[in-house]
Amino acid sequence: MAPPPLFIAGKELPILWEDKYFLVINKPAGLAAHPGPRTQDSVETRLTPQKRGGPWLVHRLDTDTAGCLLIARRKTALIAAQKAFTNRLSIKRYWAVVIGQPSQPEGTLETMVCRESTPQGGWKMRSVHSGSKHHTIDTSKMQNAKTSWRTLATNGQYSLLELTLHTGRTHQARLHCAELGSPILGDILYGERAQHNTGAGQALTPTSGLCLLARSLHVPVSLPTEARTHSLHKNAPPIHIQATAENERINRLIQQYFGTAFKL
């Protein structure tokens, strides 16, 4: 008897790669990895239970982030992959279209971060620097966050950054890009600068989503029958990232790195 389909009918998600242990899906921006108080539609709720148990999400992506999400088909695979994440052996690379450009073409930013309440009754993440005081922050829950960046291309108004996340904190890429002075295009939570003109004197083009893509995922795992390394990567940018190329210069630089399949 054939196994049940992986996804609920009508709720399928694009699969980038798969074998008998794992699969990698291309999670769309706006879809949560797990269900929550405000939404039941999520990657997890779209999966169909299998006879052997699972499938299981190995890690998570923020709701507004598109790209590679690893799912385990077997419990042994789940344990092996989660061990790689816990021991920081996995390599997670992101591409982000940001406003302006960082002061240095590449580097590493490491801060302590924690959740902060907002006046509107919501929350956001904040980097907490030594000696600073924030009455809305529970400093007992601070965590280390480390991100490396590399500028792939820039035209002065926008830049395309490759981000390597050495830790997996909530909103880490978004917060650290804002800390660099170059918030991610389409980020209404951390990108206050997106509401103003750029230094080039041109107003920013609104986008319909966060211009952040989980571009690649490298996870070394040891399974009972074989030692293997999964290099899982290179998915195309979603439409809302493609749509940021409102002029010929930014169009050319993003085509160069996102690939020739990117067309307006």
Q: What is the pLDDT of residues 16-39, one digit of tens each?
A: 888 889 999 989 889 999 998 888
* Distance, CA of 8 to chain centre: 24
Ranking 7-21, 98-112, 178-192, 230-244 by mean pLDDT, the lowest is: 230-244
- Tokens 């797990």 sit on residue: 34
pLDDT at 262 over 50: no
**Which DSSP string corresponds to 158-169?**
EEEEEEEESS--
Greater pLDDT, 207 or 203: 207
- Which of the residues are catalytic? 62
CA distance 116 to 16: 35
43-64 per-position pLDDT tens digit: 999 999 998 899 999 999 999 8
Handedness of CA 253, 255, 259, 260 (dihedral sign): negative
pLDDT at 113 over 90: yes
CA distance 75 to 55: 8
N-terminal to C-terminal alpha carbon distance within the chain = 45
210 band by pLDDT with thresholds 50, 70 and 90: confident
Amino acid at 215: R
